[in-house]
Structure 1
């Protein structure tokens, strides 16, 4: 496939730190009065009025209804996001498919599609991404950035992986990629700012600004499916790790004896909680078959899910003991573990908590692969905002 020529319809404006601070308040927390923004950001009313006017002139925010303020003083105008101001493309890559979502500036999905990947060669996948983005321009002329996520490790700027200031895919099992500067390649193919990330890290970023983690300072997201991984937010910051692969909870020990994972570790989380482990332990033909057997009372399958729940609880306990989150969000195609083994998950967590630790709420977030594409679009928003 030939590469798509670069074409830039619209550039996201370069914002000052002060403009960005005002925009983020309105973007993440909803419409705000100028008085409230002035107070929250520590800005004078004069400065806030100037910054608001600049953002309005850029077409990113609008002035809304006028609300009275407590006490004396003139009523305050509300600032709100103009969601149509920009569109963002999110792409989730698997070994076989490309899932695409377009969101507005409110992170609302306005378009979705799925394409088969005919070739896993880097150049062919990048060309397919370029062609997909190009096809969107007629309907979404305000395209501002592209985010791509995949199962694998992504080393980024400022870490100690040797990648310098480039993002590199340093391990993607399903695509067979290593040392691939994907964000650079997508930027060249589309002419748009681009960012690449691990899929669970993308989900964590999405829930941080627009999902189950809004308003929380610290929380974790566990993606459970063919593998298991965690994204962690501490004090409002997503933990990236020194080499681009934090949240590796799959090989934490659960039992001293039992089945082994694909790396030969006996009794680790991955030996029980991942989809391949459940299929094997349930003596099933597929994950759907394992779920079906457990629901109709097959004892072997039920035991497999009970063990998976305890292993998931062990992973949650490790995160709670280490970073003390306010909430843990579980998502991914492995969600039936929570449905079929909720008590075992809770028990697995409680039995392993430090005496000083408190059990945390475990939130189930419904999932399909389009959720990864939505999350990738939000990483694009975060990349430019």
Structure 2
């Protein structure tokens, strides 16, 4: 999870955000904000392109829309009715009466969760049993992590920056130390066993991004050609501070509050650079953009949500999309790009969701999530917690 800037400073910079990156808080302030936010966590091409995507993401397949109907978001039923097979009931608290946040659905009934004030654990949904990650967590809390099809990646705050670790998702191997990066924030990507990381440091209102190649047992090596690039989605990076319209990585690499912007603010399709292959992709603009990944975009026009592949193909529409005047809007994608969660929030503080829609691009189905639902994390969204249990929507269970 990433730290946020001070609210008042954010209000001051709101009007000039598109021209200047947000300022950074101190590390200590950022950690405190992460803890507070967790407690109130809410929704706060062509063949050439296909080849690029397959090379970049390995076993992760592109999802091609096949739905022919047009979903009506105004009449969208509850997500729990649309995908009952994905609704999972988890314990309300972990052993010791500890609250926790679900960060990822890893498949096979396994969830990555972060107990408040404790080291992260893997939770088995059907039994409630937990097992620790194999790694060192000096502060007990895991504050920044990334997930790839093969690895869990995380970084811990140490005296001179962040220590980065990787552990195979299948549990077949132990965690390995990938090195110390002298930065406040770190985002890590893995492609074919090669690891890359963006280290971000802050200077007043400016951010400096440095790209590193990581390897166990060796010091991180800066990649000169990657200076100024920030990883946002897997191995894909953008130059400078990610702006509204740039898809948030899963989990986020940038301050998500700054990606929520009124749709009246023009958003440009980001130009992505693959740090592993060198490929470059700028998605085609088929409609006013809400957000784009290197493979798929979602936008809005004439009261409809519109999605399309980055090459402009496979357009899909959902009618009945409305927001309140001045509402901030953003979109969050599942790991495959099949599902997109579109969230509208009040611009005033405290920001509250006015609508949360989940759209299946493979079938055209759309659903409404309850107002207390979290923003989409890695293939999972929390739907609510009672004194007895926590309910989540596990997208890995939807065929």
TM-score bracket, normalised by the shorter chain, equals under 0.3
Structure (1 or 2) with the greater helix fraction:
1
Calculate the TM-score normalised by the size of structure 1. Answer: 0.24
Say which one has the larger Rg: 1
Task: Tell which has more relative contact order, 1 or 2 (C-alpha 8 A, sep 6+).
Answer: 2
Structure (1 or 2) with the greater strand fraction:
2
